[in-house]
Amino acid sequence: MSHQQHPAWEETQSSSAFGQLRKSFRGFAFPLTAAFLVWYFLYILLTAFARDFVSTPVIGNVNIAFILGVLQFVSTFVIMWLYERHSSKVLDGAGEEIKAEVERKMS
């Protein structure tokens, strides 16, 4: 029997541990992704349709559009940092336990 057709895969997918792992991942990733997309499209819409507002100077030649653009990068790194923390604290240990269980069943 090939590893792709092994019953361990279906057993794992239907297990409560895997369901909890998937719930933990989705509970973190989906809301954060939605929030980031709203923030990103708000930035795009503002730069496309509110040019007078975003071209308002803040300090010297630095305007609101520039600050919002820099904040896009900042928010990306903050999300990456938050995900790494969540993954290390919640997902990695559970994932390793599931992996060990699958490997045990397949050997």
Tell me the pTM.
0.81
- Predicted confidence at residue 3, as pLDDT, reads 62
Q: Read off the pLDDT of residues 85-102 as tens digits, 9 standing for 90 and up.
A: 999 999 999 999 999 999
Question: How big is the chain by its Cα radius of gyration, in Å?
Answer: 22
Q: What is the DSSP string of the chain?
A: --GGG-HHHHHHHTSHHHHHHHHHHHHHHHHHHHHHHHHHHHHHHHHHH-HHHHT-EEETTEEHHHHHHHHHHHHHHHHHHHHHHHIIIIIHHHHHHHHHHHHHHH-
Q: Residue 5 pLDDT > 80, yes or no?
A: no
Alpha-carbon distance of 42 to 15, in angstroms, equals 40
pLDDT tens for each residue of 8-41: 888 999 999 999 999 999 999 999 999 999 999 9
